[in-house]
Structure 1
Amino acid sequence: MGARAVRTDPDDDAGQRRREQHGWYLYDWACSVYSTTVLTVFLGPYLTEIAKAAADADGYVHPLGVPVRAGSFFAYSVSLSVIVAILIMPIAGAVADRTGRRKPLLAAAAYTGASATAGMFLLGGDRYLLGGLLLVVANASLAVSMVLYNSFLPLIARPEERDAVSSRGWAFGYTSGALVLVANLVLFLRHDDFGVSESTAVRICLASAGVWWGAFTVIPLRRLRDRRTEKAAGAGGAAGGWRQLAATFREMRRQPLTLAFLLAYLVYNDGVQTVISQASLYGSEELGLDQSTLIVAVLLVQLLAIAGALGMGRLARTYGAQRTILASLVAWTLILGAGYFLPAGAPVFFFLLAAGIGLVLGGTQALSRSLFSHLVPPGKEAEYFSAYEMSDRGMSWLGPLLFGLTYQVTGSYRDAILSLVAFFVLGFFLLARVPVRRAVRDAGNPVPERI
């Protein structure tokens, strides 16, 4: 027996919609600081340093008795966090769909992640296991919260509003990340003036991301509203969550070209996410760059990602989204190839690499979401975008795992960064094989002049 229909149309009251939309933007403002300050800048180098302090004479740590190179510990922890997330996301999604109580679930995920992030202030000495545990909890909580956060979009915005609303949330996130990174840079560079050590400054920066995340989450929780829903028949919980996900993918088999695009996105996006999470580690460990250089580089990425997205959007209007994304994947491949040859101790070249990443980062992500929206059958937007989010997170463990394994085998971060080229090359060929115009027609949508 299937689920009964659930009303998910946005409110007719424009003022109420705008109020909820403004609150929705501020969750991106709240949680994006974790992605920039913690995952991209500080935690990789700092956790690796802690792991090295705990390592044996051969450079290995032994979590649960497993020998792991200290330099691979962060990458493996990121992979584990993604595996945990993809086990939990279908359960959270199923409970949200069955009960309509998204806000309590969003609050639980957000404050679990914020608390784990704030707890990173306790890292130090040789507490690498604590650091790995907090990373797994925080990263998995962020992923679960984003599924719930995204599920509000069809409820607070009409179809014609969603592109603009989604883009504004994305812009809010990049803006908050840049603002907090500026404050982090001041504290890190002038830690002596503030009377703290460099290690303490890093721990304050890590913990401040958790405080920021928790503090600003209050606003969306006050402004967003849960909608009443009729409870679906059938089993709930973990089994129901996985059954619901399986049913979605069975439905998607009727749209093989949409599924083919999703596979291509799943592959090349894993490369994108791995570059984001491992670039600072590469800069600090292989190139010998200091933390202030890494912070400036990430700020450069944040600012240019916005400009890059706008620029690639204009290119897409002329050449089509598919061709523009394919060009960006070629650019990603060239950027990683250049990264392999970067000289150590040369910040200028690292800044040039960061500028290249920034110019393609925002556009690759924004155009992928936009292109996918044309491949979704009318009336199935929420269902298909749930699968899109699972694809976004679903293989993001493989890139960090490959990165960590390559370093484990070769002892070289240059080889590790070069190994990620495989994701962009394979993603390029998979995407190039998708006949996008036919895919749009098969989904029952009008074909744009440029696609």
Structure 2
Amino acid sequence: MGIDTLKAAADDTAATRRHEQRGWYFYDWACSVYSTSVLTVFLGPYLTEIAKTAADPDGYVHPLGVPVRAGSFFAYTVSVSVLLSVFVMPLAAAAADRSGRKKPLLAVSAYLGAAATAGMFFLSGDRYLLGGLLLIVANASLAVSMVLYNSYLPQIAPPHERDAVSSRGWAFGYAAGALVLVLNLVLFLAHDSFGVSEATAVRICLASAGVWWGAFTLVPLKRLRDRGTPHPADAAPRGGGRQLRETLRDMRRHPHTLAFLLAYLVYNDGVQTVISQASVYGSEELGLGQSTLIVAVLLVQLLAVAGALAMGRLARTYGARRVVLGSLVAWTVTIGAGYFLPAGAPAWFFVLAAGIGLVLGGTQALSRSLFSHMVPSGKEAEYFSAYEISDRGMAWLGPLIFGLTYQLTGSYRDAIVSLVVFFLVGFTLLLRVPVRRAVRDAGNPVPDRI
């Protein structure tokens, strides 16, 4: 084979890889609008108000007969949704690895989540139980789809491209979140001009996130391709708990990968809780209006695009591990400062949002690419199910602590400052992980900078 033929084949392979990578970016573009518009901005305050409408004179609702303070209902529902995800994600991951068919499973989970989100249009009056159910379905579906989506990363990007590809994916997601938030802001602020009430405007914003999610999922489903079947002989179905134990048992042969997951579980629990509870803190404790919260989250989205790309570039020089450690220091300082924010002062809340935005995307993107180096070939979906459990499925503790702290103290300030411990402990655990050894033990080449 001549040199020209080899070069043409290499160019064709690179072009095919870039084509698939661009399709992969679009799932972040599709589903991140749910995380931003629904989970971070609108649903928390709106579902809390619906729960308060349904509450008894003492301020409690009673789902399944359990007394719950209306102000804690949203946080508790998030915890239930991620606990459910723990049992569903390993099943989907094992089926994907053993069948070699990720795309059908990605389609099912994505469109189930999109349908549940679109159904939030029907939330009104005192239908807090419907809101809780739709939130649980949408959150669990998103978690399953992200397992499958993330497991494509080591297959579509060689080691030297992985930090950049992961960072671009997060940047795509935050760009979509910013774009849709602008449209949401126009509708919410000018709802009278559109002839709808404020509550109806919120319901339209919630439902439109589901429509967006479903529409743009078509792009990755068209461009991504299924690989071969790594484990055709071991295709027997297992229960979710048993499958998770099997995956963790296999991971015990890679203890440094497991150590990284433990560190990620802790600090990402803090990240996810800040994402899901920041709007409740702003509205309930600081007395900020919905439009202020939307502008703040829009600021987070815009700066997260720049932050993810900038931290991806820093990783080329300093390595992803060092950059993530630096971001955890920034998280600690930022959330600690959030305790002292004065009520009714939007400017200081915007400063807090800016600090979060600059580190948010990079922390998530570089953590994902770091882990992808530690995954043995052929085990991508199963290992990423454990990663996603750390990302979302084990992110029940933060919301639970947040909700319990508020229930015991009646103060959202005490609740927000309780999250600092997650970043301090996560930093300490990550500092102890020998990343290069973890990559070698997984049978993968070690990048020059990691």
Q: 1:437 to 1:144 in 2, by over 3 A?
A: closer
Deviation at 1:98, TM superposition (A): 2.6
Matching residue of 1:305: 304
Matching residue of 1:206: 206
Residue range with higher mean Cα deviation, 164-173 or 204-213? 164-173
Aligned 1:276-425 pairs, distance under 5 A: 276-317=275-316, 319-376=318-375, 384-425=383-424
Deviation at 1:242, TM superposition (A): 4.8
SS at match of 2:226: coil
Deviation at 1:123, TM superposition (A): 0.7
Give distance in 1, aligned partners of 2:328 and 2:312: 15
Give distance in 2, aligned partners of 1:390 and 1:368: 14
Length-normalised TM-score, structure 2? 0.90
Render the CA deviation track for 1:290-318: whole Å, top value 9, x for unaligned. 11111111111111112223443454455
Matching residue of 1:31: 31
Give distance in 1, aligned partners of 2:449 and 2:159: 20
Deviation at 1:151, TM superposition (A): 2.9
Are the aligned partners of 2:171 and 2:361 in contact in 1 as well (CA < 8 Å)?
no
Percent identity over the alignment is 80
Q: 1:153 to 1:431 in 2, by over 3 A?
A: closer
Aligned 1:24-423 pairs, distance under 5 A: 24-227=24-227, 229=229, 232-234=232-234, 236-239=236-239, 242-317=241-316, 319-376=318-375, 384-423=383-422
Deviation at 1:431, TM superposition (A): 1.9
Are the aligned partners of 2:154 and 2:373 in contact in 1 as well (CA < 8 Å)?
no
Deviation at 1:395, TM superposition (A): 1.4
Give distance in 2, aligned partners of 1:325 and 1:13: 32
Specify the code of the residue in structure 2 equivalent to 1:367.
L
- Structure 1 unaligned residues grouped into runs of 5+: 1-9
Render the CA deviation track for 1:304-343: whole Å, top value 9, x for unaligned. 1122234434544555443432332222122122111111
SS at match of 1:237: coil
Give distance in 1, aligned partners of 2:270 and 2:13: 42
SS at match of 1:274: helix
Are the aligned partners of 2:189 and 2:291 in contact in 1 as well (CA < 8 Å)?
yes
Render the CA deviation track for 1:379-405: whole Å, top value 9, x for unaligned. 765654443233222311111111111
Are the aligned partners of 2:78 and 2:135 in contact in 1 as well (CA < 8 Å)?
yes
Length-normalised TM-score, structure 1? 0.90
Are the aligned partners of 2:96 and 2:105 in contact in 1 as well (CA < 8 Å)?
yes
Q: 1:374 to 1:108 in 2, by over 3 A?
A: closer
Deviation at 1:249, TM superposition (A): 2.3
Give distance in 2, aligned partners of 1:315 and 1:230: 35
- The runs of 4+ residues in structure 1 deviating greater than 6 Å are none
Matching residue of 1:3: none
Specify the code of the residue in structure 2 equivalent to 1:60.
Y
Are the aligned partners of 2:273 and 2:395 in contact in 1 as well (CA < 8 Å)?
yes
SS at match of 2:217: helix
Deviation at 1:86, TM superposition (A): 1.4
Specify the code of the residue in structure 1 equivalent to 2:59.
G
Are the aligned partners of 2:28 and 2:172 in contact in 1 as well (CA < 8 Å)?
yes
Are the aligned partners of 2:267 and 2:423 in contact in 1 as well (CA < 8 Å)?
yes
Residue range with higher mean Cα deviation, 425-434 or 226-235? 226-235
SS at match of 1:81: helix
Deviation at 1:145, TM superposition (A): 1.1
Are the aligned partners of 1:11 and 1:156 in contact in 2 as well (CA < 8 Å)?
no
Output the aligned Cα RMSD: 2.6
- Structure 2 unaligned residues grouped into runs of 5+: 1-9
How many residues end up aligned between the 2 structures?
A: 441
Q: 1:138 to 1:171 in 2, by over 3 A?
A: same
